[in-house]
Amino acid sequence: MGRRSPTPARGPKQENLIMHIPTLELHEAASFEDATALLAQFSPDVRLLAGGTDVLVDLKTGGSGVGHLVTFSRIETISGISEEADGLRIGALTTITEIDDSPLISGPYEMLRDAASQMATLQIRNTATIGGNIAGANPCADLPPVLMVLNATAVVISADGQRDVPLQELITGPRETLLAQNELLAAVLVPRPPARFGAAYARFGLRNGNAIAVASVAASLTLKDDGTVHNAHIALGAVAPVPTLVAAADLWLEGRDLNGDALDEAARAAMGAAEPISDLRASADYRRELVGVLTKRALTAAEQRAKG
């Protein structure tokens, strides 16, 4: 038998690189009542576990240690996409791949696929959920800006019942939402857009695959019969602490043709609304420039879709 080489002593630097999940208790909720009761019982030492692509990384790196995790995949209606009388209902545990693959994500909802198809890698998309993407409130998350310009609403459940919160109000800071400790996101409702509606998402990452957005822009608009803009919404991702709606986009685009001047003005307004930071992915100036370019791309693609 050969001799094993002695285990090298670990310095502090190597200790930091070791990733392991600390001891914790896993609870399985079979109903909304179970889930909210477990959240209330163990608050604040508890987190919901959806796909785990964020929460498990956090736990492994010591970002937010908790003693309890609650899974909730056994709750009926928590996953899947359905067409309702007034729009789409997307269950919180619906995966990014399900969004990408669903035949219901078409026509006015196509923008959801623009975002889903560009996120992360296939392995992550197969696991990551729409609920985790929203509730994780990462400033560079792809779906919140998209859902904001689609006027989506979050269905939030607690022991006290249900409340509906506009997506535009749900995210309050980096990794912060209006959700209380005993609440969970059950679904997202995307209202059916009117006729002559189009929406598109433009994003820039440092690679085509598995790169979070350096900057992103979601745009939606409705055209009048004469082809000019009736109303418009623009939301920015990854360039501010929260996904940001460009204020009054509908006011300055209303009644206009989306020609070069209108697009230039829209781009300038969006750049003015951005509050980017410099980090290892890009400088603040570069991000602001990207916002201008992406705003034009998203509005142009949205207009093409609105024209059918």
150 binds ligand FAD (CB under 6 A): no
Give how many residues touch ligand FAD by CB under 6 A: 30
Mark 197-226 with x for binding to ligand FAD (rule: CB under 6 A) and - for no binding: -------------x-x--------------
| Contact set for ligand FAD, span 19-58 (CB under 6 A) | 47-55, 57
Nearer to ligand FAD, 53 or 220 (CB): 53
Cis preceding-peptide flag for 44 (omega within 30 of 0) = yes
Using CA atoms, how far apart are residues 134 and 167, in angstroms rounded to an integer?
A: 9
Task: Name which of 91 and 232 has its Cβ closer to ligand FAD.
Answer: 91
The one segment of 25-33, 117-125, 188-196, 288-296 that binds ligand FAD by CB under 6 A: 117-125
Please answer whether residues 48 and 70 qualify as being in contact, where contact means their C-beta atoms are separated by less than 8 angstroms.
yes
Instruction: CB nearer to ligand FAD: give 144 or 276.
Output: 144
CB of 256 to ligand FAD, least distance (A): 32
Q: Which is nearer to ligand FAD, 158 or 222 (CB)?
A: 158
Tokens for 100, please give them. Answer: 């990408």
Instruction: State in angstroms the smallest separation of the CB of 92 from ligand FAD.
Output: 4
Q: Does the protein bind ligand FAD through residue 188 (CB under 6 A)? A: no
* Residue with smallest beta-carbon separation from ligand FAD: 132
Per CB under 6 A, the segment of 24-32, 104-112, 179-187, 220-228 that binds ligand FAD is: 179-187
Output the smallest distance, CB 222 to ligand FAD, in A. Answer: 27
- If one asks whether residue 153 binds ligand FAD (CB under 6 A), the answer comes out as no
The answer to whether 276 contacts ligand FAD (rule: CB under 6 A) is no
Task: Tell me the backbone φ, ψ of residue 146, rounded to 5 degrees.
Answer: -65, -45
298 binds ligand FAD (CB under 6 A): no
| Complex with ligand FAD: residue 66 or 277, whichever CB lies closer | 66
Is residue 129 a contact residue for ligand FAD (CB under 6 A)? Answer: yes
- 3-class DSSP string for the chain: CCCCCCCCCCCHHHHHHCCCCCCCEEEECCCHHHHHHHHHHHCCCEEEECCCCCHHHHHHCCCCCCCEEEECCCCCCCCCEEEECCEEEEECCCEHHHHHHCCCCCHHHHHHHHHHCCCCCHHHHHHCEHHHHHHCCCCCCCHHHHHHHCCCEEEEEECCEEEEEEHHHHEEECCEECCCCCCEEEEEEEECCCCCEEEEEEEECCCCCCCCCCEEEEEEEEECCCCCEEEEEEEEECCCCCCEECCCHHHHHCCCCCCHHHHHHHHHHHHHHCCCCCCCCCCHHHHHHHHHHHHHHHHHHHHHHHCC
Residue ranges binding ligand FAD (CB under 6 A): 47-55, 57, 92, 119-120, 124, 127-129, 131-133, 135-136, 138, 141-142, 179, 184-185, 210, 212
